[in-house]
Structures are given as structure tokens and as C-alpha cells.
Amino acid sequence: MPPRSYQLLLLLLVELACVAVAASSEDERYAACAAANRTDAAPLRADRLTVILTGYSERRLPLLRAIAGAYAAHPLVLAVVVLWCNPSTPDRRLLLLRGGSGFPPHVTVRRAASASLNARFLPRPSDVRTAAVAVADDDVLPDAAALSFAFATWQQQQQHQHHQQAAGPLVGFFPRSHHLDLSRGRWAYTAAQPGRYSMVLTKLMLLDADLLRTYSCSPELAAARAVVDRERNCEDILMNFVAAEASGAGPVLVEADGGVRDWGDPRNDASAGEGQRGGVRDVGLSATGGLGHWEKRGRCITEFHRLLGRMPLRYSYGKAVQATAGEQGLCSKGGRLVRCDHE
């Protein structure tokens, strides 16, 4: 086959694949929104949270099982949902995962209709019975105390928003930012700037369950969701847009004792062992995209702004820190300035 014809065939196949993904994800979205709009739904519990883990790579399954089990054992977690987004995984493989040799009890495995990243934010009334939802990657696990503190921070933010009858801001551990690149006439996606940030990542974020319905069911966001499908990226950026618009506030960054273990970070030591990690770093989007990944996400911000006709992202300038440090006053002891409560 001539090279030109071969290229055209490849483009056609890619386009057909994108159309198929869009069609199946749209059917799934319509069904989820219809279920979420029912008026006979039970009230959502405010004292617990639901964790939604997104899985795709079968190489990560040992780690995913361990992470799901750790979440399920947390006293504040009511349910754990593993959303399996790899359409090529055989049904029999998923049946094994749902059985006794797969995930621990109290972990539900759901197969997404497509590999669309929008599926992460579908309203799932049969699975989500809590007002708080933690959306997380399959290679990240917070310390138990860190998750408890993040949930307490989310609850506090909800109380602040209650009188406005609005959803609270996102709460997360991994900050990012944006700024206007005047030389190029577009928005740029960046790491958190010194002293400020405007987004948190879906590596691990806590959000109001109502935001799932807004993200997935709002007709105004249809074109933006199509961008996510086209780019296979940027769903977390769009959720930051949605949350900032709903709350009128920027996200809240959490810093807690114990921190968050991130197996997917490319800065991990390749020889560190931990056999259950098993090639995790080779799978994630951000780990392999390099500068192109950051450029793409900057284009997403620019396109979301254009499609919505406004820029809802808000900067945040502080963070919630677990209060275990004691007094902050400094005293001179032994010729050095140290905490006054330090013996």
C-alpha cells in the first residue's frame, strides 16, 4: 500500500475509533444522568465518603487490589468503586476480579462502557450514597490519617458554603496552576506557583457528589466533554472549572502527616523494589507525556475558556495543614531560635 494511502487509512481508523468511544460514552452518560435525576433518591450521607478508583492497566492489578483494600478498611469510607476503563480486558477476566480471588469485600467493580475519561465523573446513584466522593488514580494511596484530615477539611468547606446552598470547593493533595501567556495569547498550564495554585489533580481529590451530575449532565458542558474525549486528557481540568464555578472559590490544598504514596511519579527510584508496583510508572499519562503533556493541557484550558465564554478558575493562596505542629512562637534557647514549646 502506498505510504499516503496507508496514512489516510490510519487516520480513518483513528477517527472511527473516536466516534465509537464517543457514542458508547454518550449512551452511558445519558443512562447515568437519567438515574441521577430521579426524585425518589435517598438522602446522601454526610458522615462518610465514597472512593472511586479508575483502573485501566492489567499490570497494575496487584497494586490496585492493595489500594482498594486499604480504602475499604478505612472507617470513614462507606464504599469503594473500581471503575474499569479498559475495553480490551476480557469479560472473564473481570468476572475473576469480582470473585473471591479478586478484590476484597465491600469493593464494587464496574466496567465503563468506553475508555472515555469522562466516565470518572459520571453520577452513580446506585454506588454513591455519600455527599463526599474521593476520585483517585490507581497508583496513589494516602495515609489513613491524611485521608481523614482531607475529609474533615472537605466537611468544613461544605459548612462554609451551606448558607449559599452551593457546592464546596475541591479538596486535594496535588496542586497545579494556570496563567495567561501574553506572548502566545493563550492560557498555560503550570506547576503550582510560589504562594498560589488554581487546580488540584484527580490523582486524589475530594468533591461534592452534586458536581458529578453537573459535570456529566449539563448541556452547556457537552462541547467541553467532547474535548476531553478527543484529547483523552484534561477531565480533571474541566472538573476544576465546574467546581470553581459552582463554589465561587479556588480549591483547597491539604498537607497532612503521613502524606500520600504515589507509585506513578516518575521521580520514584527505579530500583526501589516494591514488587507490586510492577511497571506503574510506564502507564500514566503525565509520566510519559513530557512537555507535550503540559502543552496539551494548556490548550485544554484555552479551549474550555473559549467554549464557556468565561474563566471560572480561582487562585488559592493557602493550604489546610494538620494541626500537629504545636505552637509557632520562636524562642532563643542555647543560642538558637527554636520553637518555644521545644524542650
> Using an 8 Å Cβ cutoff, are 153 and 255 in contact?
no
For residue 272, what is its C-alpha cell? 526501589
Contact 136, 51 (CB under 8 A): yes
Which of 120, 100, 111 lies closest to 239 in space, CA to CA? Answer: 120
Give the β-pairing of 260-262 and 140-142.
antiparallel
What does the block give as the cell for 298? 494548556
- Rounded to whole angstroms, how far apart are CA atoms 237 and 304? 9
Nearest Cα residue to 63 out of 10, 168, 136, 117: 136
Q: In this structure, what C-alpha cell is assigned to residue 50?
A: 465514597
**Cell representation of residue 267:** 521521580
Q: What is the distance between the alpha carbons of residues 190 and 178, in angstroms, rounded to a whole number?
A: 6
Contact 133, 50 (CB under 8 A): yes
The C-alpha atoms of residue 130 and residue 16 are separated, in whole angstroms, by 38
Catalytic residue, chosen from 138, 229, 236, 262, is 236
Q: Where are the beta strands (DSSP E) in 114-217?
A: 130-137, 140-142, 171-172, 175-181, 186-191, 199-200, 204-208
| CB distance 191 to 291 below 8 Å | no
Q: What are φ and ψ of residue 149, in 5° steps?
A: -65, -40
DSSP state letter for 139: T
Amino acid at 145: A
236 labelled catalytic: yes
> What SS3 class is residue 332?
strand
Determine what percent of the chain falls in helix, strand and coil, rounding each to the nearest 5. 45, 25, 35
Which sequence positions are flagged as catalytic?
236
